Amino acid sequence: MGTWGSDSLYSGLAHAASPQPVSVKDQRRIDKRWLRWKPYALMMVRREVALREPSVKVERLMTVQQQTHASRCYQCLRSDIPWRTVVNRGLDDPRRTEDTFDREFRNAVALRTINLERSKRSRRRKPKPDNTPPAIIRSDRMSVL
C-alpha cells in the first residue's frame, strides 16, 4: 500500500494526459475490470484521506486511481501482453506502487517473449516425408521363376 507521499495515488495523472487509442472491446474490458478494483481503491483512498488530508476530495482521488488503472491497462495492451495475463497477474491493480508494477510488467514481458519463442519452436517441425511408395527391393530369396 502506498502512503500519501508516494506516487501511487497520483501516478495516473501523467499517463492520463494523452489517452491511448484502444478498440471498443478493449475499452469495455478495461471498464469492466475497473469495477473489480473500485471497492479496493475506494478503501485505500478513504484510509489515506482519513489519515492524512481530510480536505482532499475522495472523488478526485478515485478518478486518479481509475486513470492509473486505465494507463496500466493501456501500457500492457500496447506491449502485446495478453489480457488473460493482465487479469491473472493483477497488472492493472491501482493499489500497487510504480516500482511493483514495473517489476511485474517486466516479468510479464519476459514471459511473453519466452512463450513466443516456445511457440516458434513448436512450429518448426520436421518436414513431412513425401508420400511416394517405397522402392521395391528384390532379393535372391524372393525372386520368382
Predicted confidence pLDDT, tens digits, the chain (145 residues) = 444 344 444 444 444 444 556 788 989 999 999 999 999 999 988 887 777 766 668 888 889 999 999 999 999 999 888 899 899 998 989 889 999 999 999 999 998 888 777 766 666 666 666 666 666 655 555 555 5
Distance between CA atoms of 83 and 69, rounded to whole angstroms?
A: 14
Contacts of 112 (CB under 8 A, 6+ apart): 79, 80, 81, 82, 85
Maximum distance among all alpha carbons in the chain?
110
**Domain range annotation of the chain:** 22-111
Residue with cell 486513470: 67
Global pTM value: 0.63
Compute the distance between CA of residue 132 and CA of residue 82 in angstroms, rounded to an integer: 43
Q: What is the 3-state secondary structure (H, E, C) of 8-58?
A: CCCHHHHHHCCCCCCCHHHHHHHHHHHHHHHHHHHHHHHHHHHHCCCCCCH
